[in-house]
Amino acid sequence: MSSEVPIRSALAAKVNKKRKRPAEEAPKQSKTPARKSTGNATEGPKAKKQKDGKNKKDKNEQEDKPKAIRGEPLAKERRGGMDEAIGKMDGRLLADHFVQKAKRHNKELTAVELSDLSVPDSAFLDTSSFDSPRALEQLPVFMKAFSPKGANLSDSSEQKGTPHTLVVSPAGLRAADVVRALRTFSTKESPIGKLFAKHIKLEEAKQFLERARVGIGAGTPSRISDLIDSGSLKLDELKRIVIDGSYVDQKQRGIFDMKETHLPLLQLLTRSEFRDRYGAKDKKIEILVF
């Protein structure tokens, strides 16, 4: 009996040792934390491809921004229905902006066709000194600020349908708002001309111009061109073209951002009746971008 007790004790100790070993090894393994993906050196091909695509998109967006003025980059700041960058551009930058947008919207244009649609630097009056927000209620102040000293914007030519100022907007509804904003210049003898298609037929607009004196006309590029072609809208006394450039709609699009508005605008501004008078000494026409 005495010899069996040590044997059993040794066997029990050996079994207990084997049971303890897995329990001791488990905590050791749990001490090593799971390796997390940092997204840097360990990122896979798919993540890298997505990152490269994002960088390419960011680069394209950067190239679409207006060029620098006096060495400082401009960022497109579109807040509250306004593209604030437009007001910071001088004539040279505006001319380049027009061309770049034309290239983007009309990739099929040849170099000659693009040249024909280019507005010269000399056509633009620099309005970058205007410090107030280019909200619609500021449009009359803007027009007064950049009119010759002593000029009365309520005046009009004795010749019917002969404005001294045209205000060009991207859409009929916006042009109607512009007409309301310019009521301060409207008189009984010389109302603001409604030169847009919204609820106004072409024949009605032609009849209005043939019977009324008009100092300021507000409309859209296509309708203004149609009225010039018809002979109802006369350009003998025209001194300035104000482009409603800072306004953007609910989709953050302005007159330069849509092909259906930008191309008619360029076609209007580069008509021979205008082009020959940009920078001229006699009967000069200037473009102001609001």
- CATH number for the domain spanning 132: value is 3.40.50
Domain assignment of residue 273, yes or no: yes
Give SS3 for 247: strand
Domain assignment of residue 19, yes or no: no
Domain assignment of residue 126, yes or no: yes
Q: What pLDDT tens digit does each residue of the chain (290 aa) get?
A: 444 444 455 545 554 555 555 445 544 444 444 454 444 444 555 555 555 555 555 554 444 444 433 333 344 443 448 888 888 888 889 988 888 888 888 888 888 888 888 999 999 999 999 989 999 999 999 999 999 988 899 999 999 999 999 999 999 999 999 999 999 999 999 999 999 998 899 999 999 999 999 999 999 999 999 999 999 999 999 999 999 999 998 888 899 988 889 999 999 999 999 998 998 988 999 999 99
Domain assignment of residue 89, yes or no: yes
Give me the pLDDT at residue 50, please: 59
Beta bridge partners of residue 166, listed in sequence order:
217, 241
Domain assignment of residue 30, yes or no: no
Dist. CA 93–CA 85, nearest whole Å: 11
- Residue 142: domain span: 76-289
- The DSSP call for residue 239 is -
Cβ neighbours of residue 268 closer than 8 Å, sequence gap 6 or more? 168, 221, 224, 225, 274
Domain count, the chain: 1
Domain assignment of residue 7, yes or no: no
Domain assignment of residue 14, yes or no: no
Task: Note whether 179 and 218 are within 8 A (CB).
Answer: yes
